[in-house]
């Protein structure tokens, strides 16, 4: 499970992230609202842990923008203890759960597990459609007509990102950040390799969908 945590208390955020990583979660940290919103809009996260009080943009505003843009990623709001109005506003704005600070990491882990089960039950089979292809990120199956092929996890994440960005050009830097995280030593050629492999599988399916290279800018998904 990949988690985005938006929290401006850096020491606390790092401590929580370490616990999550020990429990086999992948975690990206952001410390202000604008960066948090940008990452959240990518749609690649399984859960977002979102503080309400943030610099540049508050958590409630981020949540409203995510829902306005069709991002249904489960959100756990972090609220100040006793701030009932924050909890009510958050739930009314589309939050799935909340935790009052300070909280115990065991409780956070339990809530993440519960949201993970709920997402699996409620999501519409997780199917993403673009042109003549359908991608199931849960099974890593890519299909076109009556043909289907198994993707690797990274291939599936790359195609999911391209589909969700809806014909927007995505740079190699953004792809690396979204697929491998911000502290990775992954290089551009890793992206090129995965793009090449994904292109071959699209060709095997005889799909009209292609990954175009925009020189100096990145990649974009096109049909026809």
Q: pTM of the entire structure?
A: 0.59
CATH architecture under which domain 128-223 falls: Orthogonal Bundle (1.10)
Q: What distance in Å separates the CA atoms of residue 151 and residue 149, rounded to the nearest whole number?
A: 6
Phi/psi at 58 (5° precision): -80, 160
First-to-last alpha carbon distance for the chain, in angstroms, is 34
pLDDT of residue 122: 47
| CB 16, CB 86: distance < 8 Å | no
Q: What distance in Å separates the CA atoms of residue 181 and residue 177, rounded to the nearest whole number?
A: 5
* CATH superfamily membership of 2-122: Response regulator (3.40.50.2300)
Residues above pLDDT 70, as percent of the chain = 92
Q: What distance in Å separates the CA atoms of residue 113 and residue 120, rounded to the nearest whole number?
A: 11
Residue 71 to residues 25, 74, 119, 148, 218, Cα–Cα distance (Å): 21, 9, 13, 27, 23
Radius of gyration, CA atoms only, the chain: 18
| CB 5, CB 13: distance < 8 Å | yes
Tell me the domain boundaries of the chain. Answer: 2-122, 128-223
| CB 98, CB 78: distance < 8 Å | yes
Residue in 213, 125, 224, 115 with CA at minimum distance from that of residue 172: 213
128-223: same fold as 2-122? no
pLDDT of residue 203: 94
Say which residue, 101 or 134, is predicted with more confidence.
134
Taking only the tens place, the pLDDT of each residue in 169-202 is 888 888 887 788 766 777 888 899 999 999 999 9
Residue in 82, 13, 89 with CA at minimum distance from that of residue 58: 89
- 3-class SS of residue 50: strand
């Amino acid at each position: 499970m990949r988690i985005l945590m938006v929290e401006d208390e850096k020491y606390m955020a790092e401590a929580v992230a370490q616990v999550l990583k020990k429990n086999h979660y992948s975690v990206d940290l952001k410390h202000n609202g604008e960066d948090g919103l940008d990452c959240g809009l990518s749609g690649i996260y399984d859960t977002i842990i979102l503080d309400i009080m943030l610099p540049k943009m508050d958590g409630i505003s981020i949540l409203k923008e995510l829902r306005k843009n069709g991002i249904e990623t489960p959100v756990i709001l972090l609220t100040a203890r006793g701030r009932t109005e924050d909890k009510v506003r958050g739930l009314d704005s589309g939050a799935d759960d909340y935790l009052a600070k300070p909280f115990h990491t065991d409780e956070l882990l339990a809530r993440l597990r519960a949201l993970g089960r709920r997402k699996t039950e409620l999501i519409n089979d997780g199917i993403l459609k673009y042109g003549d292809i359908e991608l199931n990120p849960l099974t890593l199956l890519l299909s076109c007509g009556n043909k289907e092929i198994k993707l690797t996890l990274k291939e599936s994440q790359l195609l999911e990102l391209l589909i969700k960005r809806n014909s927007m050009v995505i740079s190699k830097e953004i792809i690396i950040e979204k697929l491998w995280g911000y502290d990775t030593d992954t290089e551009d050629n890793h992206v090129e390799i995965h793009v090449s492999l994904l292109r071959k599988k699209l060709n095997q399916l005889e799909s009209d969908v292609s990954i175009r290279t925009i020189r100096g800018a990145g990649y974009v998904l096109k049909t026809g």
